[in-house]
Amino acid sequence: MATTKTAEASAREVAPGERTISYVQAGIEALREEMQRDPTIFYIGQGIGPRGGNWQQTRGLCAEFGEDRLRDTPISEVGQMGVGIGAAMAGSRPIVDIVFIDFMLETCGMLVQQASTTYYVSNGKIKVPLVVRAAMGGVRSSGPHHSHSFYSFFMHIPGLQVVVPATPYDVKGLLKTAIRNDNPVVFLEHKALFNTKGSVPPEDYLIPFGQAVIRRSGTNVTLIAVSLMVSRALDAAEILAKNGISVEVIDPRTVAPLDREAILSSVAKTGRLAIVDEAYATCGFSAEVAALVAESALDDLDAPVRRICALPAPHAFSPSLDTYLQPTTERIVKEITQMLER
């Protein structure tokens, strides 16, 4: 269930004297602290051992914890998932790194049919404390097999929790929460964010699932965004502010559970809603948010909901075409401006 209190925070501002580390370093720090705390945690995936992973997301951990706890696997996502689910049911806390979200589709039989249902069908006798980690999003025009943002697929499944952090602070706090959770968590990080930096406290902290954060307060329109789209939404809001348009940017941080109250409260204040989403519009995250507001806050709206999503075509190898297909800052500004002109 979503919490009733929405946090307020900036995705960018760092106060003087605060410690600044990268998005990927925040994940490593969370893993190190949790593996030191709990010996039942182990991590498996392709190239995550001595090499440290495609994104250096496990850099240094194999040397510290050994190859029994950070174990390289063959290129077999199905095998990885089977090991992870079985180990979780047997009492361990595995983290399975699929590397690219695109190849999580290979694992759906086990993830959807087994991991998400086991606690339910066993009447609570068998827990599945599993974290499935993967990188998502289009970068460097990588084409249709390494660029997707499929988080909406997993939102659809009861029993799965889906996390999409936008900042280093959120990576650390949400990953620690995911690892301590007794249910399967799909933890998705955007490839374009790994080298971004932000303020991260050195001490232990947890961020509860289902608690959105207000990245920027505003009065004219509510703009919902997750992951990489948060920074683009903030850039757009800054441009729009110069034109007299006040945009409230909300980052749900987890899409399952979803902080419904935060969205509805903001829409009640602004009277307008737009969702920027790197995934496709059809049956996606943006559709769920739009449906939520239509069902629960239709009378608060002064204009139709605007969805600013990836265009319905496979990702392209052509840089110019791939950029055209994605929600850009310029496109967000244009569509929000049109919305306010109605």
Say yes or no: domain 21-199 is CATH 3.40.50.970.
Answer: yes
Q: What's the CATH number for 213-341?
A: 3.40.50.920
- Coil, strand or helix at 213: strand
The pLDDT of residue 143? 65
**Number of residues that make up the chain:** 342
Handedness of CA 189, 194, 198, 201 (dihedral sign): positive
Averaged pLDDT in 10-residue chunks for the chain of 342 residues: 46 67 96 97 94 89 94 93 96 95 90 94 96 86 73 94 97 98 96 93 96 97 97 97 97 97 97 95 95 96 95 82 88 95 76
Task: Give, rounded to a whole angstrom, the gap between the first and last alpha carbons of the chain.
Answer: 36
The pLDDT of residue 324? 84
List, by residue number, the catalytic residues: 146
Comparing C-alpha atoms, which of 59, 62, 119 is closest to residue 88? 119
Where exactly are the structural domains of the chain?
21-199, 213-341
DSSP string, 134-197: EEES--TT--TTS---THHHHHTSTT-EEE---SHHHHHHHHHHHHH-SS-EEEEEEGGGTT-E
Do 21-199 and 213-341 show the same overall fold? yes
What are the tokens at 224?
A: 């919902």
The pLDDT of residue 18? 83
| Residue type, position 284, single letter | G
